[in-house]
Amino acid sequence: MENEKFIIQGLEGQRAFEGKIPVRGAKNAVLKTFAASLLFGNEIRVDNVPFIQDIANMNELLRHLGVGVERIEEKSFVLNSPDAIGTDLCGDIAKSFRSSIVLTGPILAREGKVIFPHPGGCVIGERPIDIFLESFKKMGADIDMHDRQYVISADKLAGAEIVFKIPSVTATETLMMTATLVPGKTILHNVACEPEIVALADFLNTGGADISGAGSHTIVIKGRDSLLKSKEPYQTPPDRIEAGSFAILAAVCGKDIEITDCKPDHLRVFLRTFDNAGVNFETTENSIRIKMSPQLNAINVKTHEYPGIPTDLQSPLAVFLTQASGRSLIFETVFESRLDYLSELSRMGADVMICDPHRAFITGVTPLRGREIESPDLRAGLAFIIAALVAKGESIVHNIHNIDRGYENIEERLQMVGADIKRI
């Protein structure tokens, strides 16, 4: 709810948390799979779905298009797309989260038309959609604008060779889904290779799509002229951003914490950086265990597309750097305005020097002070929770609907390792 907040008592820099903390299914995977239900001629089942606000928004949009969405078990949904679907994305909901954009490709491929507003989501940069629009055009669509809505239409779409100017994650997923139902061969160059893209391609292929190259920078899709048939349920992969954020929390607040139900292989470069920083950890195939480290050392963090350090871990890492000894550089290379939260962190006592919109120095170790803070976006919101848990005294985190967008019952899972956090 809009006016809920977290009240958090900090540890004053002690490392006291112990126990296990499980990771949920990946938000940024499951949202795209729900959108992919539009490509299927039968019911699809999606497992390991996190219970978060972005999923609720996606379900509302899908229902508005005519899709049957049913939660059959705690973490499982079935989705059933009818023979004819709507072409108009409901403006208010679509504007509230970025993933609404991924619906546009499947709708266009099926119905030859789609109308939608500019998608919303976290305010972390300009977030244009030119790659989507240019790619739809290359496939034969006309682009128009009416009443601040995009109107994309096509009598006939055809496979095309498309070069992305930037390896955009959602554009890769959207165009991969579009091309699945567009006759002919589509080759997408300079695409993103995040694990969630591979999971989506694998799922579409089990339903009869012909997609190769997902996980590399070139994807080839041979289009089909009818809908796919789902054969197996989709298993949502673990959320690597949640796992990485919990690992950061464990490093700065933990005595001995095991992060379970995750895939450390999806965090290789991040964990390599952790190693350089002196974090005491070990991994198995599906867990990360972090024990108290004698000292955390300054490191330089440069965000990058996968497999580099994810931009979504940049703000929790900044909190980590306040507790690491020496001067660290953060270099945000993916988004334009993703350092704004740092001014709030410095008000909590962090020694931060912002050099330009992409770079900042953080010098540690600094004690943090509890404060009243607004959660500016999903990832920085969790970073503030971690900062509040490190700090001395009480903090109040407002705007937690931003955090609920992506983390299921975050307070309950943090309480499991000993955190003093309450939702009011």
Catalytic residues: 122
Q: Is the dihedral of CA 132, 138, 142, 144 positive or negative?
A: positive
415 is written with which tokens?
């309480």
- Please, which residue, 28 or 323, has the CB nearer to ligand EPZ? 28
Choose, by CB under 6 A, the member of 130, 144, 161, 412 that binds ligand EPZ.
130
Choose, by CB under 6 A, the member of 132, 203, 270, 407 that binds ligand EPZ.
132
Find the distance separating the first CA and the last CA of the chain, reported in whole Å: 10
- Please, which residue, 236 or 366, has the CB nearer to ligand EPZ? 236
Choose, by CB under 6 A, the member of 56, 72, 166, 355 that binds ligand EPZ.
166
* Min dist. Cβ of residue 311 to ligand EPZ (A): 5
Choose, by CB under 6 A, the member of 19, 68, 82, 128 that binds ligand EPZ.
128
DSSP secondary structure, 91-147, as one string? HHHHTT-GGGGGGHHHHHHHHSEEEEPPP----SS----HHHHHHHHHTT-EEEEET
d(CA 106, CA 111): 8
Touching ligand EPZ, residues 245-304 (CB under 6 A): none
Residue 69 found at the interface with ligand EPZ (CB under 6 A): no
Residue 56 found at the interface with ligand EPZ (CB under 6 A): no
Residue 334 found at the interface with ligand EPZ (CB under 6 A): yes
Count, residues near ligand EPZ per rule CB under 6 A = 27
Q: Prior bond to 307 cis, omega within 30?
A: yes
Residue 58 found at the interface with ligand EPZ (CB under 6 A): no
CB distance 351 to 363 below 8 Å: yes
Residue 379 found at the interface with ligand EPZ (CB under 6 A): yes
8 is written with which tokens?
């958090």
Distant-in-sequence, close-in-space partners of 339: CB < 8 Å, separation ≥ 6? 330, 332, 354, 357, 358, 359, 360
Choose, by CB under 6 A, the member of 74, 83, 126, 225 that binds ligand EPZ.
126
* Min dist. Cβ of residue 356 to ligand EPZ (A): 16
Residue 37 found at the interface with ligand EPZ (CB under 6 A): no
- Please, which residue, 80 or 333, has the CB nearer to ligand EPZ? 333
**SS3 label, residue 334:** coil
d(CA 101, CA 93): 11
CB distance 165 to 208 below 8 Å: no
* Min dist. Cβ of residue 198 to ligand EPZ (A): 14
Residue 378 found at the interface with ligand EPZ (CB under 6 A): yes
**SS3 label, residue 182:** coil
Choose, by CB under 6 A, the member of 34, 136, 270, 335 that binds ligand EPZ.
335
Q: Is the dihedral of CA 269, 31, 201, 335 positive or negative?
A: negative
Residue 115 found at the interface with ligand EPZ (CB under 6 A): no
Segment near ligand EPZ (CB under 6 A); pick from 10-18, 75-83, 136-144, 167-175 = 167-175
d(CA 164, CA 261): 34
Choose, by CB under 6 A, the member of 23, 67, 131, 391 that binds ligand EPZ.
131
Q: Is the dihedral of CA 248, 251, 253, 254 positive or negative?
A: positive
Residue 313 found at the interface with ligand EPZ (CB under 6 A): no
- Please, which residue, 5 or 240, has the CB nearer to ligand EPZ? 240
Residue 123 found at the interface with ligand EPZ (CB under 6 A): no
Strands 76-80 and 113-116: unpaired
Residue 169 found at the interface with ligand EPZ (CB under 6 A): yes
Say how many C-beta atoms besides its own lie within 10 A of residue 73's C-beta: 10
Choose, by CB under 6 A, the member of 170, 236, 273, 366 that binds ligand EPZ.
170
Would you tell me which residues interact with ligand EPZ (CB under 6 A)? Answer: 28, 31, 98-99, 122, 125-132, 166, 168-171, 192, 310-312, 334-335, 378-379, 406
